[in-house]
Amino acid sequence: MDRRSFLLAGAATLALTRAQAQMNMPGMSHGRMQGMMGGAYDALALPEGAVFREVSKLANQATKPGAFAASLTAANARAEFVPGLSTPILAYNGQSPGPLIEVNEGDQVAIQFVNNIGEISTIHWHGVPVPADQDGAAMAPVADGTERAYSFTLPVGFAGTCWYHPHPHMKTAEQVYRGLAGAFIVKPKQDPVPAGYGDTVLQITDLRLAADGSMPPDTMIDHMNGRIGDHLLVNGLKNPVLTVAAGTRRRFRLLNATNARFLRLSFGAAPFTLLGTDGGYLEAPVPGQNEVFLPPASRLDVVVDFAEPGSFVLQTLAYEHGWMGPGRPDDTSQKLLSVKVATTRSAPLPPLPARLRDIENPGEPVVTRRLVLGENMGGMGGMGGMGMAMTINNRRFDMNRVDLTSKVGQLEMWEVSNPTDMDHPFHIHGNSFQLRELVDLKTGAVTPPPRRALLDVVNVPRGHAARLMVRQMLPGLRMYHCHILEHEDLGMMGLVNVQA
């Protein structure tokens, strides 16, 4: 059964199978059930307006230069999002968001991971070019109560805005929405952007709370669409307030660490200058942007100009990404961060450089691959007997099956086709890629991206194909998948074996 037929059959009556009903009912809040039915939905109110806070950095325990060593312990913890209500969460070193890891290109990195969350987990270094056996992929789970040393040397020439999060088989979505994710910044040895611009991570997460303060499990609607919470948080706070002097130009690293939000963001009258994407700098700063777009898991490096006194709010704009079933949340005009610009003026900064770096034209591929994203909403007889499956080339993920075979250094074009009626953000492990063009599947119209950029996740809009220029530089097994985490867990994922 395809998605539309499922909608017609299922949404009118919400006649779920018994298994689906059992999957969805326990712990579901009244408000959420109403939300799922498409009616009124009263989310708990969260306090807003606290003073903005930066995420604290993970301290470097290494003593020699060019090395970074630390440990990360994932464990159950508690947070108080609503005063007086204690929420069980998952945290790294007691923090959610997890501590910021800041390293330099070329560094030797050693991180001891201790898993105390009560089930398997991993740490995936999202966007960081690490060897395949250090990638924290689902094939190498870390059992509860055990430790694992991750170690890798960062290549010289890679700097970017990355992050880390769990990637255990079929448990990624829950572990991330319960709190396990942090930023991982790789700095160039010589940063072309003056230090006076600062460097502030804005880690965006998505929180849903039941009336008792707990985080309800995913519903069937969440499995279909990806989990959309009730509150977007920045560095763990709802709409905190940052006060700056007039004339401030501030560098922000935007990290979409939500399970499934397509974030189209504006700062009102304060314009963005684009500096970089997932895999580091653009070739030149792009000033005068009134909005930015971050599909799930993507990052942007930007400077925002707060020229004149006043109030500026980072908030979501409408974006149509496709929605299945009832209960589509109102995801526009959500306030993320309020910036109060005082009348005192900041000292002027040196200008941004005219050029940031060169990004190579990848040239023509020697291999072309076609990957087709699919949604199968069939009943209990459906794929794998799970009732709902997300697929690539009609197959659900199987970690014992290699889907593609590649070679180190080989330039490939991956045409990721999305004939479904919902956008899917596509992520490839191992190395950044470039978007060559988007193709409209109906008209064949081809749209190149506005500029060269290194990405590790790209939105594949519904009814389109994304042609990606992919080159893996290290051997081993790599995952590729939709980064709506519920879709990943339901099987929209595959494995490429990169041969030396």
Task: Name the residues that contact Cu ion, by CB under 5 A.
Answer: 424, 482, 484, 487
Smallest distance, Cu ion to C-beta of residue 487, A: 3
Nearer Cβ to Cu ion, position 315 or 376?
A: 376
Torsion of the alpha carbons at 318, 233, 425 and 303, rounded to the nearest 10: 80
Contact 270, 339 (CB under 8 A): yes
Smallest distance, Cu ion to C-beta of residue 416, A: 11
Contact 464, 448 (CB under 8 A): no
Nearer Cβ to Cu ion, position 168 or 425?
A: 425
Q: How far apart are CA 477 and CA 463, in angstroms?
A: 29
Smallest distance, Cu ion to C-beta of residue 265, A: 21
Nearest to 54 by CA among 102, 95, 89, 100: 100
Nearer Cβ to Cu ion, position 242 or 392?
A: 392
Q: How far apart are CA 37 and CA 57, in angstroms?
A: 42
Nearer Cβ to Cu ion, position 240 or 295?
A: 295
Smallest distance, Cu ion to C-beta of residue 392, A: 10
Nearest to 475 by CA among 491, 498, 446: 498
Residue with tokens 């190498």: 140
What's at 428, amino acid-wise? I
Smallest distance, Cu ion to C-beta of residue 308, A: 41
Phi, psi of 135 (to 5 degrees): -80, -10
Nearer Cβ to Cu ion, position 161 or 225?
A: 225
Contact 208, 331 (CB under 8 A): no
Q: How far apart are CA 255 and CA 241, in angstroms?
A: 18
Nearer Cβ to Cu ion, position 178 or 487?
A: 487
Smallest distance, Cu ion to C-beta of residue 137, A: 18
Q: How far apart are CA 263 and CA 204, in angstroms?
A: 10
